[in-house]
Structure 1
Amino acid sequence: MVKAAEEKDYVQSLERGLSVILAFSDHHPRLTLGELAELTGLSRPTVRRIVLTLEKLGYVRAEGRYFALTPHVLALGNAYLSSLNLTEVAQPYMEDVTKVTGHPCSLAALDGEDAVFLARIPSRRVMRHTLTTGTRLPAYATSMGRMLLAGLPDHEIEEFLRHGQFPRITARTVTDPARLREILHEVRRQGWALVDQEFEEGVRSFSAPVRDSGDRVIATLSMSVPAGTLSLAEIHGETLPVVVEAAREISKQLGAPAPR
């Protein structure tokens, strides 16, 4: 059988190599060949060849029978950030937001079903979760994720709602696809998202869109605050407007058209 052009151009070995890299996480920082085979669904001999190749290239190091990623992997993410130039533009605005509000400010982009942190300006306040560049959070249960999802075309939102998994994280987590659809359309209409303790008990988060020259939502500026520190009324009246305005200024620097 003659393969279609797109199938002939598909490099399966590259797919397998990336799947091995992505198998490592904060829950699995060190893995054996057997564990990598189980997590990726690849055969042990295939995983062994991939790991040895990655080790030779400097992306993986051996620790006895375990393997772990090396800092060289960060070069892959840095290539994306450097080409986008987004974090360089956003950095001073994020610093100003944290200085004015006293709360950490984050920049994130959508990757599949997750919101991924591109940059973060910390504050002196201690939050339960350690969030750094590369941290992934479920899009459906976070303000940054909902803002990013709301920026997608309708057919992509429907695809996400049809095939996504929405487990309950806290007692407040919205898991019903129909309700999530309503929320995403509301977020799109109002131009910001707010999540009240759906991802973490005692934490409220809110986000605003960062747009490019084509008026596409390419990232989101967000903030998380302790529920006991700021009421919803204070968020709406004091901190959310600061985040929204900073996101608009970043978008303006990226060539986005003026808000309608």
Structure 2
Amino acid sequence: MVRSSQAWYVKSVEKTFAVLGAFTAESPRLSVSEVAAAADLSRAAARRFLLTLADLGYLSGDGARYQLAPRSLNIGSAFLSSLTLPALAEPHLKTLSADLQETASICILDGEHIVYVARITSPRLVSVAVHVGTRFPAWATSMGRVLLAALEPEDMESRLDRSDLRPYTPNTLWDRAALLDEIDGVRQRGWSVVLEEYEEGLSGVAVPIHQGNEVVAAANVSLHHRNPTGPALSETVLPRLRDAAAAISADYGIRVTG
């Protein structure tokens, strides 16, 4: 939980968002005790926050377990509606997805996570449900590594410090030294490929989207688990993904340098 000593700081707001942030894709339904532990609150305080948020319509529950209610979408919908990048990117993602017959997505970096802001799905089956607003640990994903590689070293290391580095699958690169080497490699070559590191059957390749010299987002194409690498990656998928990212950048008022 973020702490501040500023005189204007309202701790109850901090605690409210800590309670809301306790609900994740991995833990969508939580008990009072689980929320208390996740938000660093006493059980009594957690219960008061949960009951208040339920009365306001942001949570639903039966008193034993709670979950986010549809009204909680209002918190992020204003941000998404004001973000022009997804709308500008959608035609290019549709073309890319249809061309490659794969899912194409765009993510931004939020703390130590990536957040999907645009996604065009292909008919191919993917082993996890991913949609706009889904969050994944940045270090374990192709888009996340592209975005981490664009940060100043101190900022990138700080985000890794706050990350839960652990093996999600047998393929996960979670040793910190090896992970730093990989992120450095992503920085040098300008793209990242991750093969079944976060979820078995889920692989992807990603490239950055720029605003001037600044990386503002990452674009990704899923890789079919039967043939995720090989000539198709370097000769077909990566060039078309780069072309799409450059087109999105141009439509976003961006001129990619170099």
TM-score where L is the length of structure 2: 0.90
Instruction: Pick the aligned partner of 2:229 from 231, 250, 256.
Output: 231
What is aligned with 1:8?
A: 7
Contact kept? 2:213, 2:256, Cα under 8 Å: no
What is aligned with 1:100?
A: 99
Q: How does 1:18-167 map to 2 (within 5 A)?
A: 18-162=17-161, 164-167=163-166
Shift of 1:162: 4.9
Number of positions where the alignment pairs a residue of Structure 1 with one of Structure 2? 255
Q: Where do 5+ consecutive residues of structure 1 fail to align?
A: none
Contact kept? 2:104, 2:121, Cα under 8 Å: yes
Pair 191,131 (structure 1): closer, same or farther in 2 beyond 3 Å: same
Shift of 1:170: 2.6
- With 44-53 and 102-111 compared, the bigger mean Cα shift is at 44-53
Pair 139,59 (structure 1): closer, same or farther in 2 beyond 3 Å: same
- With 248-257 and 25-34 compared, the bigger mean Cα shift is at 25-34
Q: In structure 1, what residue type is equivalent to 2:208?
A: P
- With 216-225 and 29-38 compared, the bigger mean Cα shift is at 29-38
Shift of 1:109: 1.3
In structure 1, distance between residues paired with 2:219 and 2:69: 29
Q: In structure 2, what residue type is equivalent to 1:229?
A: N
Shift of 1:43: 1.4
CA offsets 1:169-193 (integer angstroms, 9 cap, x no match): 2333222323222222221222211
Shift of 1:247: 1.1
Shift of 1:161: 4.2
Instruction: Pick the aligned partner of 1:247 from 208, 224, 245.
Output: 245
Contact kept? 2:127, 2:202, Cα under 8 Å: no
Contact kept? 2:139, 2:160, Cα under 8 Å: no
- With 176-185 and 92-101 compared, the bigger mean Cα shift is at 176-185
Instruction: Pick the aligned partner of 2:256 from 239, 255, 258.
Output: 258
Contact kept? 1:215, 1:256, Cα under 8 Å: no
Runs of 4+ in 1 over 6 A off after TM superposition: none
In structure 1, distance between residues paired with 2:240 and 2:63: 50
What is aligned with 1:194?
A: 193
What is aligned with 1:221?
A: 219
Q: In structure 2, what residue type is equivalent to 1:142?
A: T
Q: Secondary structure at the match of 1:221?
A: strand
Contact kept? 1:192, 1:244, Cα under 8 Å: no
Q: Secondary structure at the match of 1:204?
A: strand
TM-score where L is the length of structure 1: 0.89
In structure 1, distance between residues paired with 2:13 and 2:161: 29
